[in-house]
Amino acid sequence: MKELIKIGRAFYGIGVVALGIHQIIIKKFRSEILSPFPAWAHNNSIFPILTGIALIFAGIIISGVFKIKFSDTKKICLYLGFCFLAAIITSHLPYIIMLSADKTPDFQVWIDALEELTYSGGAFVMAGSFVENSSAGGEKNFTSLLEKLIPCGRVFYSILMILFGLSHFAFAKFLVTMVPKWLPAPMFWTYFFGVALIIAGISIIFKILIKPIALLLALTLLLFFLFFHIPDAIANPSAGGGNEIVRAFIALLFCGIALVIALTNDRKTALGEIIQS
């Protein structure tokens, strides 16, 4: 179990690193990291590059690939989750609300905001996989306030999973084209995975058989990574400055979140078995 939690953290951290590297390559903000508002943030490439560097730094530490002395991984997770959440509140929501009538937000605008909410939720889920309190002695500070958002992590994550599931019905004709040719009855699998994602999201939110269902979700997302995203990344490696490659790592990031949710939902397990680093 300890090793699986390590793997979940590694998947999430690697996904965050991929986001950071891509921003440095394209020298602009990814749409889910920052909406077109505020415009000044997009006028100079230094802002997305610095954000990319910060994401790489945070992702490396969370992944556990390298140990950095004096770094507090739980605090880094908490502050990363807060930064993603702050971007939603200060960028995505104002952009959606302030759009004029001739610029009615399309489905992708909402997806971008909810995807960043999932990144935020993932960071809080990762923080919850560490037993130690970041604020010693019950001291009330900003970090201790952020710790109260840890239970929200799985909810933030599940909202997008439910939306993805619904999209399997709303955009079935498009998604069916992504089913591997060797898999029979592609429309059946399109609907099947749509139902599975919806059930998994609801289960995680309400803690209904959360461990087995979250583990099955992690396995499903890993299969998506291997059989959908990897082939797509190989076929279109340069599209969007390598966006398809990044999308593959984002699928891995989602898988890591589900894996950690499955193994840290029980407080007794968390206190008794979760490792500290």
Q: What is the pTM of this model?
A: 0.91
pLDDT exceeds 80 at position 260: yes
pLDDT of residue 275: 39
pLDDT exceeds 90 at position 274: no
Separation between Cα atoms, residue 168 and residue 136, nearest integer Å:
46
Q: Quickly state the pLDDT bin for 277 (edges 50, 70, 90).
A: very low
pLDDT tens by residue, 40-90 = 999 999 999 999 999 999 999 999 987 777 789 999 999 999 999 999 999
Q: Which residues contact 89 (CB under 8 A, 6 or more apart)?
A: none
pLDDT of residue 57: 96
Cα 254 to chain center, whole Å? 5
pLDDT exceeds 60 at position 134: no
Q: Quickly state the pLDDT bin for 97 (edges 50, 70, 90).
A: confident
User: In this structure, are residues 252 and 14 in contact, taking their beta carbons and an 8 Å threshold?
Assistant: yes
Segment (H or E) for 50 = helix 46-63
pLDDT of residue 121: 98
The DSSP symbol for 277 reads -
Nearest one of 257, 258, 253 to 19, comparing CA atoms: 253
Cα 71 to chain center, whole Å? 22
Backbone angles phi, psi at 150, to 5 degrees: -55, -45
pLDDT of residue 102: 55
pLDDT of residue 19: 98
pLDDT tens by residue, 139-184 = 579 999 999 999 999 999 999 999 999 999 989 998 898 888 888 9
pLDDT of residue 65: 84
Q: Which residue has the higher pLDDT, 136 or 34?
A: 34
Identify the burial level of 185 via C-beta atoms within 10 angstroms of its C-beta, where 0-12 means exposed, 13-18 middle and 19 or more buried. Answer: exposed
pLDDT of residue 265: 73
Q: What mean pLDDT comes out for the span 173-199?
A: 91
Nearest one of 176, 171, 174 to 187, comparing CA atoms: 176
Q: What mean pLDDT comes out for the span 99-111?
A: 69
Alpha-carbon torsion (130, 117, 71, 137), positive or negative: negative
What string of DSSP letters covers 206-220? HTSSHHHHHHHHHHH
Q: Which residue has the higher pLDDT, 268 or 12?
A: 12
Averaged pLDDT score across all residues of the chain: 89
pLDDT of residue 41: 95
